[in-house]
Amino acid sequence: MQGSARRMGVMTDDDGRPIYALVNLATTPISKMASDFAENELDLFRKALELIIDSETGFASSTNILNLVDQLKGKKMRKKEAEHVLQKFTQSKWLIEKEGEFTLHSRAILEMEQYIRETYPDTMKICDICHGLLIQGQSCETCGIRMHLPCVAKYFQSNSEPRCPHCNDYWPHEIPEIFDPEKDREATVSKPNKKSSRSRQH
C-alpha cells in the first residue's frame, strides 16, 4: 500500500490555496468510492462528473444532473433520493455546491486527475500555464487557451495590460487576486491579538 501511495498537491480553483493528500495510485477513485456508495449512486456521480467535464464553466446544474436519474445503472432512484445522494457527495468532499450548481471539490480533482485524463481525453481541459487538469478558469476569446484562476493571477501579476500567452491578444477578463500564504499567515496571527485587545477595552 505504501509503495502505491503518493503525496500529491493541487491548487484550489478559486483562490489558489494548496491542498495536499495521500493518493493511492493502485486503485481508481471510483473503486475507492465503491465502499461508501451503491452502484446507482456511483453512476449518478459519473454522470455528474461527465456534465462538469463537458461544461464550459466547470459546473453542472442540479436540474441537469437529476434529469439523468432514469438512466442510472442498478436500483432505480427517485429524484428526491438523488438530491440526498448529491448532498452525500458534497459532505464527502467529492463535490461542491454553489447556488444550485455542482463542481468538483479540490480533493476530488487531486484524486481523480489521472482517471479523468484517461476517461475523458477528448473533452477534458488543460491549463496552458501549469498543464494541470482545469475544471474552472478563464479562456482566451481569440485562440481558446484556458488558464486556472490562480495561474491567471500569477501570470499577469503587476501587468497593467495583460495579453494572452499564446496569441498575444488582449486578455479581457478580470484578473483575480493571488493567494499569498504570508498575508494569510499574518492575518491568522493578528486575529487573536485583535480579540485580546478588544477584551482589555471592556
Spacing of C-alpha 107 from chain mean position: 8
CB 16 within 8 A of CB 149: yes
Query: Higher confidence at residue 5 or residue 107?
Result: 107
CB 137 within 8 A of CB 127: yes
pLDDT of residue 34: 81
CATH number assigned to the domain covering 5-120: 1.10.10.10
Residues in the chain: 202
pLDDT of residue 56: 92
Q: Was domain 125-180 assigned CATH 3.40.630.10? A: no
**Residues 86-110 pLDDT 10s:** 999 999 999 999 999 999 998 889 8
Spacing of C-alpha 115 from chain mean position: 14
Whether 20 shows a pLDDT value over 70: the answer reads: no
Q: Which residue has the cell 475523458?
A: 120
Torsion angle of the four alpha carbons 128, 132, 136, 140, in this order, in degrees rounded to the nearest 10: 10
pLDDT of residue 27: 55
Residue 48 has a CB neighbour count (10 Å cut-off) of: 25
Spacing of C-alpha 84 from chain mean position: 21
Query: Higher confidence at residue 199 or residue 160?
Result: 160
Every domain of the chain and the residues it spans:
5-120, 125-180
Residue 85 has a CB neighbour count (10 Å cut-off) of: 19
End-to-end Cα spacing for the chain: 56
Distance CA 193, CA 60 (A): 42
Q: Which residue has the cell 449518478?
A: 44
